[in-house]
Amino acid sequence: MHTTRLIFVILFFRSFLFFGQAESIAQKNIDVQKYVFHIAVNDTTNLIHVRAEITVLFNEPVKSFSFDLVSKGAEGKGMRVDEVLENKVKKEFKQTDEKLIVNTEIKTSFLQKTYTIKYHGIPKDGLIISKNKFGDRTFFGDNWPNRAHNWLVCEDHPSDKALVEFYVTAPAYYQVIASGKLKERTNLNDKQTLTIWKTDVPLPTKVMVIGVAHFAVEQVGATHGIPISSWVYPQNKKEGFYDYAQALKIVNFFIEEVGPFPFSKLANVQSKTRFGGMENAGNIFYFERSVTGQRKHESLLVHEIAHQWFGDSATETGWKHLWLSEGFATYFTNLYYEDKYGEEIFKKRLSDQRDKVIRFSKNHKTPVIDIATTNLLKLLNANSYEKGGWVLHMLRRKVGDENFWQSIRTYYKKYAYKNASTEDLKKIFEEISGEKLDGFFEQWLKKPGHPVLKTSYVQNGNIIMMHIKQTQNDFPLFRFPLELQLIYQDGTSEKTKVYVSKKDEVFTIKVRSEIKEILIDPEVNLLYEKG
């Protein structure tokens, strides 16, 4: 997900002002194996009709269990369940504000059953039914973080991944994009079409969506056997096709550097998502004004495409590990820019992102792995994005490029289509590098803040006395290597490194002649603030 455009962040938070999204916890007694959603949309009303077939594996005996589903409220929006069947037998059920509770007698563990749930309603959220910038009606799924259950009955947590199929009945003049492979498009009559998309790999609910609109579609090409397409509004198809065609080279970069593309296709879609971009698996939704005809949003495409590996395929076990999604997408966008545009652009991006982390820390004393914040929207911050990316950068510098890339590829290969935690990532980096990384992960991810450094030096002949003081009062003491560039009066320079481990230290450094100045962190490798 990309939230760097302030206007979209503001709109995003306003839209949730009335009901904060609290940290959700996955049920342990069930494991959803597969969803099949039959969804009918129309242009007469915003009412949708859904028949869901959900295959559930029971991990333990139960007398009742629940799915997530927002019920119809006083304002008339929400879903009303009409019927629940268990293997075609009617079951008693009850709806609460956000749950569908099914009464059933499951006497053994690891039993699998299929539930058919018929319901209807006007989505309160999740499926955004509105008009686009050209005044055309559109339907776009927008599920992050746990908004899917506003329109899809499901287990709405990233740790419960499942196969999904969408059978979408819509007015015949629309086209339908969705997660998975296109299996069928049939004219039911003069007025309706049925479009079927199916995945062959499991997804978290946050990235399983549909989009229904007037589209112009271009097949951009394929890389490593993965077809890339652009889905844009017909009125700006020339500009949209030009902008989104950048995706082909981006996908190729990540395939070659990280591993195989995790899904059967990639469609880049102009949409009504409230985010700058939403990384839905195999069909990314971008905000509608991302189409300019001037390729102004290349970094947005890179960020969302990086998510296909990190967040969509290798998914965090829970929201406190969000940096494994957003921090990865942030840093891997930097890596793409480093490869395409060079070292100086790479450093500039890192420096700008460091500034964002510093600004955020002035009013937020929270760590990257944040177990205290329960409002999921508040996790969309500089800790999850920019600081998470900076942690990966410092980790890369700590273990070296070869170990870094081997660790990343090993991590992705092991956790593709699964869930991972920060501890899982740490173990792989330790195994590959041979280094103990408890201290590194502890101070940069589990504790708040960063070093605030006040530095000075005096020279006495060929000796420099370098004074380094950590002045942060609200944050803990940090331990880190610090690079110094010694600039001599004759214009030459050399680099050295000291290891800072105390609040107040003096380092003795041998030099060859008179010093003009000393640059702190010249290669932009440390997350720190000048004191």
pLDDT tens-digit series, residues 7-66: 333 333 333 333 344 455 666 899 999 999 999 999 999 999 999 999 999 999 999 999
Q: Tally Cβ neighbours within 10 Å of residue 44.
A: 6
| Cβ neighbourhood burial of 24 (10 Å; 0-12, 13-18, 19+) | buried
Task: Yes or no: say if 478 and 460 are a contact pair by the CB < 8 Å rule.
Answer: no
Q: What is the pLDDT of residue 306?
A: 98
d(CA 292, CA 112): 49
Task: Yes or no: say if 195 and 187 are a contact pair by the CB < 8 Å rule.
Answer: no
Task: Yes or no: say if 173 and 137 are a contact pair by the CB < 8 Å rule.
Answer: no
Which distant-in-sequence residues (6+ apart) come within 8 Å of 234 by Cβ? 214, 215, 216
Task: Yes or no: say if 486 and 518 are a contact pair by the CB < 8 Å rule.
Answer: yes
Task: Yes or no: say if 150 and 165 are a contact pair by the CB < 8 Å rule.
Answer: no
Q: What is the pLDDT of residue 2?
A: 74
> How remote is the C-alpha of 383 from its chain's centroid?
13
Q: For the domain 452-530, what is the CATH code? A: 2.60.40.1840
Q: What is the pLDDT of residue 24?
A: 58
d(CA 228, CA 305): 11
Q: Domain-by-domain residue ranges, the chain? A: 6-237+265-290, 316-446, 452-530
> How remote is the C-alpha of 385 from its chain's centroid?
9
| Cβ neighbourhood burial of 378 (10 Å; 0-12, 13-18, 19+) | middle
Task: Yes or no: say if 91 and 102 are a contact pair by the CB < 8 Å rule.
Answer: yes
Q: Report strand pairing: 283-287 vs 266-271.
A: parallel
| 284-343 residue pLDDT tens | 999 999 999 999 999 999 999 999 999 999 999 999 999 999 999 999 999 999 999 999
d(CA 161, CA 140): 21
Specify the CATH architecture of the domain 316-446.
Orthogonal Bundle (1.10)
* Across 471-477, average pLDDT: 90
d(CA 313, CA 161): 10
Q: Are 6-237+265-290 and 452-530 equal in CATH topology?
A: yes
d(CA 511, CA 457): 13
Fold of the 6-237+265-290 domain? Immunoglobulin-like (2.60.40)
| 151-170 residue pLDDT tens | 999 999 999 999 999 999 99
